Structure 1
Amino acid sequence: MNKTHQPRATSLNILFCALLATSIGQSVMLTTLPSMGREAGLSEFHIAIIMSSSAFIFAIGTSFWSRVAKHKGYRKLLMVGLAGYSIGTFAFAGMWSLGYAGVLCGSALFFALLITRSLQSTIMSASPPCAVGYAIRISSDQQRVGAISRVTSANNVGQLFGPVYAGALVSFGLVTPLYSVVVFTLLAFVLVWRKLPTIQTSPSLQSQTNQPTLAKPAKGITLILVLSCASIFCAMAMMQQTLGFFFIDHYGKSPVQSAQQVGIAMMLSAATSLSIQILVVQKARFSADNLIRIALPLLCVAYLLMFIHQHIYTLYIAMLLMGLGMGMGYPSLAAVATSYCAPENQAKVTGYITATPAMGYILGPPLAAALYQGDIHAPFLAASVLLAVFTMIVFFLVRAKNK
C-alpha cells in the first residue's frame, strides 16, 4: 500500500507545482493588467477584449489538448504547455515594454498585445487538462475529489502568492512582475521533465478509444455541471475585470496603489479558498453534492456584498466568502461531473471542466466592461444574479438525481 501511495502522492505534488507556476503567472497578470492598461492609455474595453479573446482560444485549446493528451501522453503535453507559457509570457511582457518605451502605442500596442496573448493561450492551454487528466488517471473513484482538489488547489496558492508578489514588484515597474514569473514556469518544466513518471493508457481505455461507436454523449446533468463551473468563473472574471478600475475610480487610487489593493483582496480570497480545500475538501469531510449546496449560495452572497458594500472592509469580507465558495465549488463540481459521465467520455468531460475558467473569461470581461460604463457597481450585481440562476438549476437537478 505504501509503495503505491508514495509514487501517487509524489506525482500529485509535481502536478501541483506545475499548475502553481502557471497560476502565479495568471494571478500576476490579472492583478496588474487593469493598471498596466490605464498607464498605457488603453480603455477598459481594450483590456476586456484581450482577456476575452485569449480566454476563447484557451477554452478551445483545453478541449483539443485533452483529447490529444489521451493518446500522446499527459506528461509530454504538460511540458509543451509549460514551455509555451514561458515563451508567451516573455513575449507578452515585451509588448508592454515596447508600449511604455513609446515604440508601440494606441491601436498598434493593442493588437500586438492581443496577438501575443492569444498565441500564448494556444499553447499554455495544454497544462490544465493534462495535469487534471493525469491526476484522475492515477486515482480511484473514491480518491477523485481529493486528487482534483489537491492539484487544483495550486490555483488558490497561486492566487495567494501572486498578488502579493506582484504588489511587491510593481514599484520597480508595472511590467516587472510579468518578466519574473517566467522563472517559475521554467522551473516547473524542469521538474516535470526530470521527476514526473510517464503513465500508459490502460488497455480498457485504449479499446474504448478504438471503438468510437460505443461512446455515449454526456448526460444532461453533466453538461449543467460544466456550465455551472463556467458560471462561477464568469462571475470571477467580471469581478477581476472590474476591481482594478474600481479602486481607481471609486476609491481614487493610483494605478500602482490599485494593483496593490487588488493584490490584498485576491490574497484574502485565495487564503480562505486554500484553507477550505486543505481542511475540508481534501479530507472528504462532506460529500461533493453537499459541498456544492454550500458553495454556490456562498458565492451568490459574496458578489451581492460587493455590490452593496459601502466600506472597503466589507469588500474584503466579500472576498473571503468568495474564496470559501470557490474552494469548495470548483473541485466538487469537477469531481461530480467526471463521475456522472460514461468512462469513455471522461477525457472529453475533463477537457470541458478544465476549459471552464477560460469559458468564464470569454464572456465575463466584456460584459463587466459594458456594465461598468453605466454603473461601476453593476458587474458585481450581475455576477450574483448569474450564480443565483445556476444555483437553483443545480439544486433542482441534484435533488432529482438523489430521489
Structure 2
Amino acid sequence: MNRIRGSIFFSVFAAMLGLMLIAPIMPPLIRELGMKESHSGLIISLGSIMMAVMAPVWGRWSDIRGRKPIILIGFIGMSVSCALFALALYGGLNAWIGGGLLLTLLIVTRSLIGMFIPAVLSSAQAYMGDVTEGEERGSGMAIISAANGLGLVFGPAIAGAFTLIGLLWPLYFGIFIAIAAFIIALLLIPSAKPIIQVKPPKVNPFQRGLRMYLAAGLVTMMGIMTLQVVGGFYFQDQLALSSAATAQMVSFGLMFSGAAMLIMQVIQMKWLKWQPRPMILLGSLFLIASMILFLVFNVLSMYYFSFFLFGMGSGLMMPGFMAGASLAVSKEQQGGAAGLVAAIQGISAVITPLLTTTLYQVDKHVPFMLVAVLVVLLAIMMMGMRKNESNTVMDPIHSL
C-alpha cells in the first residue's frame, strides 16, 4: 500500500471511527442526563439525516475545489463539532444546562458531526477513483471498504474501552483522532488540481448502471446496521444471556466479522482483483448463508461462524458497490458518485433502526428474513444486468 492509498485508508478509518464512537455511549449518557430514550434516537437520527443530505454536496465540491481541501475541512469540522458535542454533554452532566436547551444543543452539535464526516468519506472515495483505473478500481475500493469496515467494528469496541475511564472519554478520543488524521492528510496526501474547472456535470442516482450499485450499497449497509441494531436483542433472547454476556458475545461476533471482512478485502486487493458485479454476487451468497444460519441454528459456535460468513459477504459487497458506482460515471463525476455512496450510509442509519426494531417487536426472526429477501432480490437484479450496463472493463462473472 503506497503513501497515497495508506493516507486515504487512515482518513476513512478515522472518519468512521469518529462516527461509531458516539452510538454506544448515547444510552447511558441519556439516562445520566435524565432524558427520554426517544431523545437518543432523535439526536442520532437527525445527525444521520444531515450526513445523507451533505454527502453528495461534499462530493460535488471536491470535484470543483479538489479532494485534499475538502478532506482537511472535514477533519477540522469533525474535531470542532465533536468538541462542541462533548461540551454540551459535559454541561448537562454538571447541571449547567438542561431541558429543551440541552436537547437542542445536542441535536445541533450531533448534526454538525454528521455534516462534516461525509466530507472525508466522499472526497477520499473520489480520490481513490482518481488514482485507479479499470481493473485496479475494485482493489482500490477494497481499501476504502476495509477502512469503513474496521471503523464500524472497532469504533464501538474502542468506545467501550474508554468508558472505563468516563462516559465522555470516547468523544475526547474522537477529537484526538480527528486532529491526528488532519495532520496525516495534510502531510501525506498530495495536492491535486480540481477535476473540473467549469460547472460540473450532474450525477443522477437513477442513471443506468449507477442506480444498481447504489441499491447494492443500501442493501449491504442495511444488513450491517440490522446486525448492529437488533443483533444484541436477538442473541440475548435466543441464548437466554445476561446483559454482560450479550455484550461480550456481540463484541466477539463483530470482531469475527471485522476479521473476515479484512481477509476478503486483502484477497481481493492481492489476488482476485474482480470487477464489481462478481464481487457483489459472491458476497450475496455469503450474506444469504449467514442470515439462514442466524435463523436456523441456536448454538453460540454457529452464531460466531455466521458472523464470520457475514463479514466475508460484506467484505466483498462493500468494495463491489463502491467500485461499481465509481466505474459507472465519468472522471468528472467521481465526487458526485462518491457523495451518493456516502449518502447511502446516512440513509441506512436513518431507516434501518426504526424499521428493524419495529419488525423485531412483531417477530424476532423477521429482521433477518428481510435482509435475506433483500439480498436475494439484489442478486437476481444484478444477474439481470446487461454487461454494458455494468460499465466494467472486465467482467469475470462466468468465473463464478
TM-score calculated relative to the size of structure 2: 0.85
Cα distance in 2 between the residues matched to 1:232 and 1:14? 25
Structure 1 portions without partners, runs of 5+: 1-7
Cα distance in 1 between the residues matched to 2:290 and 2:120? 30
Residue 172 of structure 1 aligns to a residue whose secondary structure is coil
AA matched with 2:117: M
Number of the residue aligned with 1:168: 161
Cα distance in 1 between the residues matched to 2:302 and 2:99? 37
Number of the residue aligned with 2:382: 394
AA matched with 1:21: A
Task: Check the 8 A contact 2:63/2:334 in 1, yes or no.
Answer: no
Tell whether 2:275 aligns with 1:287: yes
Number of the residue aligned with 1:338: 326
Number of the residue aligned with 2:134: 141
Q: Considering only aligned residues, what root-mean-square deviation do their CA atoms show, in Å?
A: 3.2
Task: Check the 8 A contact 2:226/2:353 in 1, yes or no.
Answer: yes
AA matched with 2:8: L
Structure 2 portions without partners, runs of 5+: 390-394
Task: Check the 8 A contact 1:235/1:360 in 2, yes or no.
Answer: no
Tell whether 2:205 aligns with 1:225: no
Q: Encode CA deviations 1:115-170: one digit per residue, 9 max, x unaligned.
A: 32112111222011111111111222232111121233112233443343233223
Cα distance in 1 between the residues matched to 2:309 and 2:351? 23
Number of the residue aligned with 2:392: none
How many residue pairs get matched?
390
Number of the residue aligned with 2:9: 16
Task: Check the 8 A contact 1:89/1:178 in 2, yes or no.
Answer: yes
Which aligned pairs between 1:229-378 and structure 2 lie closer than 5 A?
A: 229-245=217-233, 251=240, 253-254=242-243, 259-378=247-366
Residue 264 of structure 1 aligns to a residue whose secondary structure is helix
Cα distance in 1 between the residues matched to 2:102 and 2:127? 38
AA matched with 2:357: A
Cα distance in 2 between the residues matched to 1:249 and 1:44? 21
Residue 272 of structure 2 aligns to a residue whose secondary structure is coil
TM-score calculated relative to the size of structure 1: 0.84
Cα distance in 1 between the residues matched to 2:368 and 2:120? 30
Residue 322 of structure 1: how far off its partner (Å): 1.5
Task: Check the 8 A contact 1:276/1:324 in 2, yes or no.
Answer: yes
Number of the residue aligned with 1:380: 368
Cα distance in 2 between the residues matched to 1:42 and 1:379? 28
Residue 65 of structure 1: how far off its partner (Å): 0.5
Deviates more, 1:141-150 or 1:320-329: 141-150
Residue 228 of structure 1: how far off its partner (Å): 1.6
Q: Encode CA deviations 1:84-115: one digit per residue, 9 max, x unaligned.
A: 21222233334444455556677665544333
AA matched with 2:316: M
User: Which of 169, 173, 177 is residue 180 of structure 1 equivalent to?
Assistant: 173
Distance 1:326 1:128, change over 3 A: same
Task: Check the 8 A contact 1:45/1:366 in 2, yes or no.
Answer: no
Task: Check the 8 A contact 1:160/1:271 in 2, yes or no.
Answer: no
AA matched with 1:201: P
Task: Check the 8 A contact 1:167/1:263 in 2, yes or no.
Answer: no
Tell whether 2:60 aligns with 1:67: yes
Task: Check the 8 A contact 1:31/1:263 in 2, yes or no.
Answer: no
Cα distance in 1 between the residues matched to 2:41 and 2:100? 15
User: Which of 134, 147, 153 is residue 154 of structure 1 equivalent to?
Assistant: 147
Distance 1:302 1:261, change over 3 A: same
Deviates more, 1:25-34 or 1:287-296: 25-34
Deviates more, 1:367-376 or 1:80-89: 367-376
Task: Check the 8 A contact 2:118/2:339 in 1, yes or no.
Answer: no
Cα distance in 2 between the residues matched to 1:314 and 1:92? 40
Deviates more, 1:340-349 or 1:184-193: 340-349
